Structure 1
Amino acid sequence: MIIARGEKTYITELQREQVNAMELWGKHKDPLFHSYNFPKMTEKQKDYWYRNKAKSFTKRCFGVCNLEDSLVGYIALRNIGWIKRTSELGIVFDPEQVNKGYGTDSLKIFLDYYFTSMKMKQLNLKVALFNKRAQQCYKNCGFEVKEIIYDEFEDQELPVFEEEALLEYRDFFKKEGTILLSRFKNMYITREMYLLDK
């Protein structure tokens, strides 16, 4: 079922068959984004992934399709607090479909659904400081920076301090013992901020 339509995309409740489409997505070449590549999974693993993302009380997941009906990404909510009406945002897109305006378009229509239909009060997110493209998308959608923090990086195997090709990114990372930490921006938008920006 389509829950929102934009100029370039539309959003659906995540369907099980859409998980199969994610397996066909391209791969990020940049090692900083390898953890966003959709993994190869068995049918049983895909069933579990779908149930975990879409059928949980504290999580919801939505498919993002372009106007040619191709699945180009998904939007996830986690740590949903139904009493405080808050949650955390996660977005993943097919690497072959970035820089086409799909992210900004889908997030703008999703925010309307989130604050109007779901009646939520605040949406939080965490974005890596080196991920300039995502930060610009969030800024365009009305998110503001709350703080900059160090947090555990998704890909603990990233050889950022070993490989010369990653030299320019070293300032974004540090090691605490064996744990690789990266600098992140915590960003947020409230219903009031969203309505003022409309």
Structure 2
Amino acid sequence: MWIAIGEKTRIRKLFREDVDQMQNWGSHRDPLFFHYNFPYLDTNERDEWYRSKTGKFRKKSFAIENTRGEVIGFLSIRDIQWIKRESELGIVLNPDCMNEGYGTDAIKAFLYYYFQGMKMKTITLRVAHFNERAIRCYCKCGFEVIGEEEMAFEDQRAEIFYNPKYHDLQKLFTRTKQGMATKYMRMALKKENYEHRINSLSTKTVWKCE
């Protein structure tokens, strides 16, 4: 059932019923991360959300469980280049489960499956420059910065852009022809570098091919 097992988390295929559990997740209090709050969806919208995460050749999504079997997050690999054996990672956690080491544990467990089970060669990601917590997590997992660029922010309707009380946060963004933008870091981890680190990782993993 599970493709990878860490000390705090277990990774498996994402199922439609997982989306129902996500409806009960908490909310971020930091306005910079409001767009990561899982939206309320009716049944049809949940069906569509699930299809968008799982029904594409170049995208795969996985559920993250804690040791009690509760779905506390999901991670996806998108823009999969099957010939080059590379893709881009994305991860979302229940805000109520932040700062407990789940993200680092889940990524470390998944990386073993990604490189050994899926036989991939490179994994990349992008993260907003202001998201220091996520950057620390990715560094712990072995990712290295390969570049930096200004890109359109994920939520162009974010409250921080028009609410005066968030004036101090607005300096993190610039207005461009493509909309409101901010600095993103590009990070990557190659299989050969991962294999050099594997013995030092604290997470114990098991894997199987799908």
| TM-score scaled by length of structure 1 | 0.95
Matches within 5 A, 1:64-103: 64-103=64-103
Q: Partners in 2 of 1:30 and 1:64 — Cα distance? A: 23
Q: How many residues are aligned here?
A: 198
TM-superposed CA distance for 1:52, in Å, is 1.7
Give, in whole Å, the separation in 1 of the partners of 2:14 and 2:178.
36
Counterpart in 2 of 1:116? 116
Q: Aligned-pair distance for 1:77?
A: 0.8
SS at match of 1:172: coil
CA distance in 1, matches of 2:162, 2:71: 36
Cα displacement (A) at 1:193: 1.0
Find the residue that maps to 2:18 and give its secondary structure: helix
Q: Aligned-pair distance for 1:177?
A: 4.0
Percent identity between matched residues is: 43
> CA 1:88–1:167 in 2, change beyond 3 Å: closer, same or farther?
same
Question: What whole-Å deviation, never above 9, does each CA across 1:110-152 have from its counterpart, x for those lacking one?
Answer: 0000000000010010000110110000000000001111001
Deviations 1:60-81 (A, max 9, x none): 0000011011111001111011
SS of residue in 2 equivalent to 1:68: coil
Contact 1:86–1:121 under 8 Å retained in 2: yes
Q: State whether residues 142 and 189 of structure 1, in contact with CA within 8 Å, keep that contact through their aligned partners in structure 2.
A: yes
C-alpha distance in structure 2 between counterparts of 1:15 and 1:116, whole Å: 23
Amino acid at match of 1:41: L
Question: 2:182 corresponds to which letter in structure 1?
Answer: S
Q: Which has the higher contact order (CA 8 A, sep 6+)?
A: 2
- Give unmatched runs, 5+ long, in structure 2: 199-210
The alignment's C-alpha RMSD in Å is 1.4
1:134 aligns with 2:134: yes
Tell me if structure 1 keeps the 8 A contact 2:31–2:160: no
Distance 1:81 1:173, change over 3 A: same
- Name the TM-score, length of structure 2 as normaliser: 0.90
